[in-house]
Structure 1
Amino acid sequence: MHQYFVFSGVFLFFEYLIHILGTWRFYQKSGINSWKIFIPIYNIFILLKTYNRSRWYLFLLLTPLTSIILLFILWMDLIRFFGRGRKKDILLLFFSAGLYIFYINFFEKIQKIEKIKKKEDHTGILLAIIFSFITHTYIIQPFVIPTSSMERTLLVGDFILVSKIHYGLRMPMSPISIPFTHNNIIGNVKSYISILQWPYFRFHSVQSIQRNDIVVFNFPKDSNHQVIDRKDHYIKRCIGLPGDLISIKKGVLFVNHRKENFFPEKQQAYLIKTENVPLNIEYLKNEMDIEDIELIEEKNDEYFYQIMLTKKKAIQIKNLFDNVVFIKKNIFPTYFQEDYIFHSGWNRDFFGPLHIPKKGELIKLNLKNLHIYNEIITYEKGKIINDPSEKYYKIKNNYYFMMGDNRHNSYDSRYWGFVPEDHVVGKPILIWMSIDWDRKNPFNFFSWKLRWNRIMKTIN
C-alpha cells in the first residue's frame, strides 16, 4: 500500500516540476506573484479560479492519468488566453505531448489578451468523458463475451458489466495509457507505457471469491504483455479456492474429494451417431439454440457428430430424433495424454489430484511436484529451482483454479495452471445487452439478432 502511494506521489511531483517549467512565464504575465507559482496544488487552484473552472477539477489530481488530463485542460486555457487558441495550436499541444507549451513559454513573446472572443463551452462533454473514464477504471467496466468457453451460462455476444469493487478495487499498475483501451491499439501497438509500472495494491474486498463464482481475470500466461493489468482478459468459473484439492475422474469434477454440485448450464462434448438420415442441423441451431455442431464422419449412411450439449439438451435430442443410434459423452480414456495439459500424463477428463496453493502455507517440494509449483516459485521469487534442495517453500499469494462451463471447449486452468490473486479483475454482475451474431462472420451486421430474454439479466 505505502509503495503504491509513494510511486503516485513521486509521479505527481515530477508533474508539478514539468508544469512549473512549462508555464512560469504565463503565470508572471497574468500578474500572479512568483511565490504562488511554486506552491503545489495551490498553483493549480489559482489557474482554475482565474479561468472560471470548477474547484472540483482538483480531484483529478488523485490519479496519474486524470492529473495529466487536468494539466492539458489548464494548458489549453493558458494558451487560449494568450492568443494561441486556434485549432492549429490545440493540435500542436496534443500531438507534441505538451512540448508545444514549453516552446511558447521559452521562445515566443506572449501577451495576455484582455478581451477574448467567447467560445462555446464544452466543459459538460469533457466532464462526462472524464467521469465515464473514472467509472470504467475504478468501478464498473464493460466487456463482451467473444468465445463459447462459458456457454450456456454466458453466450457469445453477451455484453456484460463487471464490478471492480466486489473483490477489492485493484489500482492500475500501468497508470499512463490511452483512455478506454486495454493493451493494444492496432496490431501489436501498445496503448500504454510499460516503463512506468506501479506496484500491486488492492483495497479491501466487499466479498471474497466464493467457490463457483464467475470471475474476470488477467490471463497469467499472456507473454505479449508483462504488466499484469494489461494482460488479456479471461472469464471463467472459479471451481477451486486456495487450499482446495482438485481432481477430475471420467469428466466429473471433485473438490476436496466431494463431487461437484450439479448445475444445468454445464456443457460437455457428446458423440452422436445416426443412421440413414443426418441430424437436422437447422432445427438444432434455430429451435434448440445449439451452436457447436461438428460432423466427424459420414460412412455407409451412418453419420457421426460431436456436439457441445447440456445434459438436458442431450436427453431432448435422444427423445426427438428416431434415427439416433446412440448419444454419449466424449470422455478421454485415462491413458490418453492430451497436448498442452498442465501436467503430463493427465487430460481434461482425468486430472489431478492437484493442491491449490494458499498464502502463507509451506509446500513440501520433491521431484514429483517441483514442476507443478516451479511456475509459482518463479513468479514469486523470480528464479527457477531445478533441484529441490530447499525442502519447503512458503507461498506468498493466494491462487485460484478456473474452468469454463463449456467443459470440453474451454482453455482454462487445466491447461495453463493457477490464477494468482493479483490477476483478479472483478465480478460480472449484469448482462446489459446480448446479440446473436454469425460466429463465422460476426461483422455481418444484417444477421444480428437481439436476445431479448437476456437483456438486463443479472449474472449469478
Structure 2
Amino acid sequence: MEKKYYRLSFFIDKVFRLVIIACILFVLYLLLGVTTFATFKVPTDSMEPALLPEDCILVNKWVMGGRIFNVWDALEGKEVEITRLPGFGKVERDDVLVFNFPYPGRWDSIRLDVMKYYVKRCVALPGDTFEIRDARYYVRGYDGVLGNIRQQDYLRLQLNGIADDHSARERGICFNAYPFNDIVNWNIVEFGPFFIPAKGAEVLMTPLNKVLYRNAIEWEQKKPLTLKGDTVLLGDSVIRKYSFRQDYYFVAGDLAINSQDSRYWGLLPEPFIVGKAVRIWKSVDKRTDRVRWNRIFKKIE
C-alpha cells in the first residue's frame, strides 16, 4: 500500500512540475511576443522582390519598443490607448515595417484593427517633407535611395502618356492618390510636397492643411475638422494652427505598380507600428509547396 502511495505521489509531483514548467514557458513566450519578437506571413506580392508571398518574417520589437494596450477592447473595435515599452533604436528611412493597417473601415478615418497587418517600406520619417516626382520618391535634404528605384521607373514607363485615372485603371493601376481632393489633385507619379508630422510639430490650419491632415487630427482629437469658408473648425471651435500629438510615417510597397500604401491612404501613426522586419525565417512557394531554402534566415533589406 505504501509503495502504491509512493508511486502515486511521485506521479502527481512529476505532473505538477511539468505543469509549472509549461506555465513558465508560456508566460515567457507571451513576454517575448509582447516585448521582443513577433512573426508574420507575407500574404501578397506588394513587397516584391524583397519579400515574396508566403515568406514568414521575424519582426524586431526592440527597435521602437513593444506596445501595451487592451487587446480585448481592440478586438471589439473599441478605442484603446497604446503605450510603448522603452525602445533600443529608431526607425530609419528604407526600413521595412509591420503595422496595423490604419484605415480598415474607410480611407478617410483612422482606426486600429488588431487583426489586419501590412508590411511596407518606410520612405519618410516624422519631420520629413516627402515628394514623388516622375514616379520616384524623394525627401527634401536627403540624397539616399528610397524604395525600389527599378520598380518606380517601371511604373513610370507603364503610365507614360497617361494623365487620368480612367486610362490608368484600364492597365490595372489606380492613378489618383491621397488625399483624393481637387485642392491638390496628387497622383502616384506627381505627389507632394507633403510634410510628414512629427510630435510637437505645428502647421497652420489653412484649407489645404485641413485636407492633408484631417484624418490625423480627427483621430488625435476625436472631434470633426470642418471648413467654413476659409476658416477651419475643430468641433465648434475655430482653429488657426495645430500641434500634433504623435509621430507619423509615410510607407510604400516595393512593387510600386501594385501596392496599397501611403500614396493612397496617407499617414501611418506611430502607435500602429508593430516593429521592424529583420529576417525571413521560413519561405514556401505556395504553387509547389516547396520550401525556398535560399530564403531561409535571409536578411530583409
Q: What RMSD over aligned residues (CA atoms) do the two structures have, in Å? A: 3.0
1:362 counterpart residue number = 202
Instruction: Give the 3-state SS of the residue equivalent to 2:67 in structure 1.
Output: coil
Q: What CA distance in whole angstroms lies between the structure 2 residues aligned with 1:263 and 1:238?
A: 8
- Residues 30-429 of structure 1: pairs in structure 2 closer than 5 A: 118-119=11-12, 121=15, 122-123=18-19, 124-171=21-68, 173-176=69-72, 192=75, 199-223=81-105, 228=112, 230-256=114-140, 260-261=144-145, 266-268=150-152, 270=154, 329-331=157-159, 333=161, 335-337=163-165, 338=174, 341-344=177-180, 345-387=185-227, 388=232, 389-429=238-278
Q: What CA distance in whole angstroms lies between the structure 2 residues aligned with 1:332 and 1:376?
A: 33
Instruction: Give the 3-state SS of the residue equivalent to 1:400 in structure 2.
Output: strand
Equivalent pair of 1:332/1:348 in contact (CA under 8 Å): no
Q: What CA distance in whole angstroms lies between the structure 2 residues aligned with 1:259 and 1:350?
A: 19
Q: What CA distance in whole angstroms lies between the structure 1 residues aligned with 2:159 and 2:88?
A: 39
Structure 1: segments with no counterpart, 5+ residues? 1-114, 178-182, 184-191, 271-307, 309-327, 439-446
> Alpha-carbon deviation of 1:131?
2.7
Equivalent pair of 2:44/2:53 in contact (CA under 8 Å): yes
Q: What CA distance in whole angstroms lies between the structure 2 residues aligned with 1:264 and 1:365?
A: 34
Q: What CA distance in whole angstroms lies between the structure 1 residues aligned with 2:132 and 2:105?
A: 28
Amino acid at match of 1:422: P
Identity of aligned residues (%): 30
Answer 1 or 2: higher relative contact order, Cα 8 Å, separation at least 6: 2
> Alpha-carbon deviation of 1:136?
2.1
Scaled by the length of structure 1, the TM-score of the pair is 0.53
Residues 219-278 of structure 1: per-residue CA shift (max 9 Å, x gap): 110239x973615111111101111111112111111165652776853584xxxxxxxx
Q: How many residues align?
A: 267
Amino acid at match of 1:204: P
Q: What CA distance in whole angstroms lies between the structure 1 residues aligned with 2:278 and 2:139?
A: 25
Structure 2: segments with no counterpart, 5+ residues? 1-7, 166-173, 233-237
Structure (1/2) with the larger strand percentage? 2
Amino acid at match of 1:380: E
Equivalent pair of 1:332/1:349 in contact (CA under 8 Å): no
Q: Which moved more, 1:335-344 or 1:131-140?
A: 335-344
Q: 1:452 to 1:459 in 2, by over 3 A?
A: same
Q: What CA distance in whole angstroms lies between the structure 2 residues aligned with 1:136 and 1:204?
A: 15
Q: What CA distance in whole angstroms lies between the structure 2 residues aligned with 1:450 and 1:118?
A: 42
Q: Which moved more, 1:261-270 or 1:238-247?
A: 261-270
Q: Which has the larger radius of gyration?
A: 1
Scaled by the length of structure 2, the TM-score of the pair is 0.78
